[in-house]
A and B are shown apart, each in its own frame.
Chain A
Amino acid sequence: MKIASKSLTAEKLVRDALEKAKHYADYNIFTFLDEEGAIARAKEIDTKIKKGEKVGRLAGVPYALKDNFLSPRGETTASAHILQGFTSPITATAVTKLEAEGAIMIGRTNMDAFAHGSSTENSYFGPTLNSHDKERVSGGSSGGSAVSVALDIVEFATGTDTGGSIRQPASFNGIYGLKPTYGCISRYGVVAMASSTDCIGFFTKNPDDMDLLMSIASGQDPKDMTTLPDYYNEESEQKAHYRIGIIKDFDNESVNSEIRTALETKCDLLKSKGHEIVELKMPSLKYALAAYYIIVPAEIASNLSRYDGVRYGFRSKNSEDLDALYNNTRSEGFMPENKRRIMIGNFVLSSGFYDAYFLKAAKARSLIIKEYENAFKKCDFILTPVAPNPAFKLGEKINDPVAMYLEDVMSVPLNLAGVPGLTIPAGETKSGLPLGLQLIGPRRSDKALIKFSKELI
């Protein structure tokens, strides 16, 4: 990525990025642009460079921040009505780390409200358009971030991935997108969707940028007790030849034929480089989507309880009593998809249903974790499609929640298991839509995964 130096000023990098952001305004990528602030911070970095002072590894690098990261710069709304007007006094740990290295946030990116969705159509600000076809969705929930990188507005963007929200939009826009191992990057200061599956990650244009960002953002945070002790920067053993698993259970008619071809092409490429392709059977994965859409809505319903109109964000006017205040604020403030998930979540947690739904889903989750552990005894990495189809048309699935949920069938198992997955570009369809595949590794293999992805170029 381009980093500021004496010959290439941070101000130039930032001004170029802002100009492009405005040029592509019709894609509806940004919910907020921090022109003044970004230029001011760029100038500070340029002054330091001029004086010969030490600057960070991301000096002057313009980036886009998904709208669910807390930062006092602009309103943090998670693209939800109910958070309109909320300016955070807190900065997310990930943002603090990036900015300490000199990265400059030029704006906040559009997303499905509270990250509920696979198309960014559930945003209070309307959908973000696909970088390759304006009639198609950008993917989601981190659609704005993916398109901001795909259109080369910024060098990188942050994202969150609870069930595919980084990997799927990366795939729909032909760029790299990493969902790290659960607990690798602190969730402190990121609006929670589902605490046990939420991961912070990035969109980049190449594996090296991803590696740099990971080496900066990863590590244990005392403010997030689910973070793992720092492992990312430990050197791992390199092998000459790797065994790559492909999952036979996914090899069926429900997957788009051009995606299947792309997978075969990449397998041939790997074989030609001396790597071995191993066929895997992972029968428990078929339960992943059902388990995911029980566990995740339960955590969503719980995490969204705090939005009651009392302390911050949107509050419905003219409520006569407390119950009316709660009801009106939440009825008016949440998007239909938010409400759907709150209702599912509360249903599966209700007394008398907990064992039948939540507990059963938790057991399925344990099976899935085991199945990945067993799979990684037979291979080093797994290569699968990210989603069954390339980017679909705007409005095509928005009124059919089940069809929309099925888009996540190949991405959610990783979140349930906590394993890392990296979307890599894999060519285009005949009609010019990007195709992506995901490379999956065992827990804590993030660095090796990123390194190995270069074999697929």
Chain B
Amino acid sequence: MSNTKYIPTIGIECHVQLATKTKLFSEVDNDARGKEPNSCVSPVDYALPGMLPRLNGEAIRLAILAGRAMNCEINSHSRFDRKHYFYPDSPKGYQITQFYEPIIGEGYVELPSGTKIRIEHAHLEGDAGKLTHYDSYSLVDLNRVDTPLIEIVSMPDIHSAKDAHDYCKELWRLMTFAGVSYGDLYNGNMRFDVNISLAPEGAKKLGTRAEIKNLNSFRSVERAAEYEIIRQTKIYEKGEKVVQETRGWNDASGKTTTQRSKEEAKDYRYMPEPDLPPINLSDDFIETESAKLPPMPADYRKIFKGKIPEDILELLLDYPKLAEKLNDTDEKYAKNIANLFTSVLLAEEKSAEYLNDLPSTKDLNELAEMNENKELSSTATKEVFLRLFDPQMKHRGAKNIAKELGLIQENDLGALEKIVDAVLAKPETKKAQEDYRNGEQKVIGFLIGQVMKESKGKANPSAVQEIIKQKLA
């Protein structure tokens, strides 16, 4: 038994909240962040008698973009169904979803490693409300009711916890690059259900699966999958059977635990939604909307291949705005600007704020140019770069800021030589000159420092070093 190798097979369902202005079936604000509980709720959402859903066209357009981002077919005909269950998070007593005919058909997502994960389908549906449980009571907040969701269902193409992580992360990137979701994981904009089973290597049939529900970070997806692989392997090694069930993930303990077995599974009594006519999309409409899809991470990987180191590019690809901006700037400065983004901007405490107000393409090009012409030292470049986010200064432009701050380097060799001569003539540098000639090369740092001081920081240090070396040779 212990020689058998067990191969995990993983399929993932991902719920993505769409960033529409209003809800899927009513006209109230869909963005309830920071708002009072039950303040973004219309009579349609809280299921007053006689209320009818009104389909939000923006959700259809975003679903088309989401589908195209995943290389999916868009179905010209789709429709809604009702999924019934009783719980206070569902005021209607059913969720409006697309069980039989979803809007998004087959497609695939390509991971950075090149592995392709096929998409089975994705469908539109309304989200449920939120319950907060206390000792003797629970509170219901219906703000989230009928926030538009797309549920993306993958094929069981994933075979490692790492790929499960990468798949979820790539989905997140696709959804944020396509602009269909805010992608705020902390606020539950994307949630993952991981189906995982093990089977002996070479087996034709998949093993019994467990479903780990409601994971809200890539890391928890990876850890839960790792945990399940070990748990299920141990069960098989003992000669026992895995039970088909729904399990929950506890991030603190790092364990999954039983929530509901198959026998307790609910019968949702699906039924066509009679209050909403079917969605029929013309080819023209699908094409026009699809054309609005901006470049996706895979496109940027092609564009920047060989121009930016892969690890830096992958970092940038977590931020659609940076990738987009980089693509706008001059190709020859790509590496330079990418470095500023990753090592300066993303290291800033206020980086989230900065991302919403990036410098102009012109300023970035100028800044990179000054750096590459050695007009600005790397330290000065960083300084000017950060000033480009300062509301008081940014409008003056990179060149003026550099000048005003006196950061332009002295590159005139004649002028530099004069300063070097003046420094070498100073008595306090005599000992260092002597030490250098005696082979103590590191004292040149002291001499360069003196020159920099004399030049008030404007001298180009590498040029200074060359001159000192010549003088003391």
A associates with B: yes
Contacts of A225 in B (CB 8 A): 52-55, 275-277
Which chain B residue shows the least CB distance to A311?
B46
Q: C-beta contact mask, B90-117 vs A, less than 8 Å → 1, else 0? A: 0111100000000000000000000000
* A305 and B52 contact, CB distance less than 8 A: no
Which chain A residue shows the least CB distance to B267?
A351
Which A residues, 59 to 96, have Cβ-Cβ distances below 8 Å to chain B? Answer: 68-70, 76, 78, 83, 86, 88-90, 92
Which chain A residue shows the least CB distance to B55?
A225
* B50 and A70 contact, CB distance less than 8 A: yes
Whether A316 is near chain B, meaning CB under 8 Å from some CB there, is no
* B93 and A306 contact, CB distance less than 8 A: yes
Looking at B49, B52, B53, B268, which has the most chain A CB atoms within 10 Å of its CB? B49
Whether B295 is near chain A, meaning CB under 8 Å from some CB there, is no
Which A residues, 146 to 195, have Cβ-Cβ distances below 8 Å to chain B? Answer: 187-192, 194-195
* B49 and A70 contact, CB distance less than 8 A: yes
Q: C-beta contact mask, B282-314 vs A, less than 8 Å → 1, else 0? A: 000000000000000000000000000000000
Contacts of A304 in B (CB 8 A): 93
Bound-complex Cα distance A258 to B88 (A): 54
Picked from A223, A298, A305, A322, the residue with its CB within 8 Å of the CB of B93 is: A305
* A312 and B52 contact, CB distance less than 8 A: no
- Contact (A350, B269) CB under 8 Å given A305-B93, A308-B93, A326-B86: yes
Which A residues, 299 to 316, have Cβ-Cβ distances below 8 Å to chain B? Answer: 299, 301-302, 304-308, 310-312
Which chain B residue shows the least CB distance to A298?
B271
Contacts of B53 in A (CB 8 A): 225
* A86 and B93 contact, CB distance less than 8 A: no
Count how many chain B residues have C-beta atoms less than 8 Å from C-beta atoms of the other chain: 30
Contacts of B55 in A (CB 8 A): 225
Which A residues, 276 to 305, have Cβ-Cβ distances below 8 Å to chain B? Answer: 298-299, 301-302, 304-305
* A191 and B49 contact, CB distance less than 8 A: yes
Count how many chain A residues have C-beta atoms less than 8 Å from C-beta atoms of the other chain: 46
Picked from A223, A310, A351, A358, the residue with its CB within 8 Å of the CB of B52 is: A223
Q: C-beta contact mask, B402-446 vs A, less than 8 Å → 1, else 0? A: 000000000000000000000000000000000000000000000
Picked from B50, B84, B88, B272, the residue with its CB within 8 Å of the CB of A305 is: B84
Contacts of B354 in A (CB 8 A): none
- Contact (A346, B269) CB under 8 Å given A306-B92, A310-B88: yes
Q: C-beta contact mask, B325-354 vs A, less than 8 Å → 1, else 0? A: 000000000000000000000000000000
Picked from B47, B51, B92, B267, the residue with its CB within 8 Å of the CB of A90 is: B51
Whether B43 is near chain A, meaning CB under 8 Å from some CB there, is yes
Whether B391 is near chain A, meaning CB under 8 Å from some CB there, is no
Bound-complex Cα distance A308 to B91 (A): 9
* A226 and B277 contact, CB distance less than 8 A: yes
Which B residues, 28 to 53, have Cβ-Cβ distances below 8 Å to chain A? Answer: 43, 46-53
Bound-complex Cα distance A181 to B82 (A): 25
Whether B202 is near chain A, meaning CB under 8 Å from some CB there, is no
* A350 and B46 contact, CB distance less than 8 A: no
Whether A251 is near chain B, meaning CB under 8 Å from some CB there, is no
Bound-complex Cα distance A196 to B275 (A): 7
Whether B182 is near chain A, meaning CB under 8 Å from some CB there, is no
Picked from B47, B140, B270, B272, the residue with its CB within 8 Å of the CB of A306 is: B47
* Prevailing SS type, chain B contact patch: loop
* A196 and B52 contact, CB distance less than 8 A: no
Bound-complex Cα distance A322 to B93 (A): 14
* A311 and B49 contact, CB distance less than 8 A: no
Whether A224 is near chain B, meaning CB under 8 Å from some CB there, is yes
Which chain B residue shows the least CB distance to A347?
B269
Contacts of A346 in B (CB 8 A): 269
* A83 and B269 contact, CB distance less than 8 A: no
Contacts of A76 in B (CB 8 A): 49
Which chain B residue shows the least CB distance to A83?
B49
- Contact (A308, B277) CB under 8 Å given A190-B50, A191-B50, A350-B269: no
Contacts of B54 in A (CB 8 A): 222-223, 225
Contacts of B239 in A (CB 8 A): none
Q: C-beta contact mask, A301-345 vs B, less than 8 Å → 1, else 0? A: 110111110111000000000100010000000000000000000
Which chain B residue shows the least CB distance to A346?
B269
> A316 → chain B, closest Cβ, in Å?
15
Bound-complex Cα distance A222 to B93 (A): 24
Bound-complex Cα distance A312 to B86 (A): 16
Bound-complex Cα distance A195 to B275 (A): 6
* B271 and A349 contact, CB distance less than 8 A: yes
* B50 and A299 contact, CB distance less than 8 A: no
> B95 → chain A, closest Cβ, in Å?
11
* B43 and A90 contact, CB distance less than 8 A: yes
Contacts of A305 in B (CB 8 A): 84, 86, 92-94
Bound-complex Cα distance A60 to B22 (A): 40
Contacts of B277 in A (CB 8 A): 225-226
* B50 and A189 contact, CB distance less than 8 A: yes
Contacts of B86 in A (CB 8 A): 305, 308, 326
Bound-complex Cα distance A225 to B56 (A): 11
* B50 and A92 contact, CB distance less than 8 A: yes
Q: C-beta contact mask, B60-104 vs A, less than 8 Å → 1, else 0? A: 000000000000000000000010101010011110000000000
> A305 → chain B, closest Cβ, in Å?
2
* B49 and A78 contact, CB distance less than 8 A: yes
Which chain B residue shows the least CB distance to A92?
B50
Which chain A residue shows the least CB distance to B269?
A349
* B82 and A302 contact, CB distance less than 8 A: yes
* B50 and A90 contact, CB distance less than 8 A: yes
Bound-complex Cα distance A349 to B84 (A): 10
> A87 → chain B, closest Cβ, in Å?
11
Picked from B43, B50, B271, the residue with its CB within 8 Å of the CB of A192 is: B50
Contacts of B43 in A (CB 8 A): 89-90
Can you spell out 13 A-B residue pairs with CB atoms less than 8 angstroms apart? A86-B49, A88-B50, A89-B48, A188-B52, A222-B54, A224-B52, A301-B269, A302-B82, A310-B91, A346-B269, A349-B271, A350-B267, A351-B267
Q: Give chain B's interface residues, CB within 8 Å of chain A.
A: 43, 46-55, 82, 84, 86, 88, 91-94, 140, 267-272, 274-277
Extra A-B contacts (15), CB below 8 Å, given A226-B277, A306-B92: A68-B50, A90-B51, A187-B50, A187-B52, A189-B51, A191-B49, A192-B50, A195-B274, A298-B271, A302-B94, A305-B84, A311-B47, A326-B86, A351-B269, A362-B272
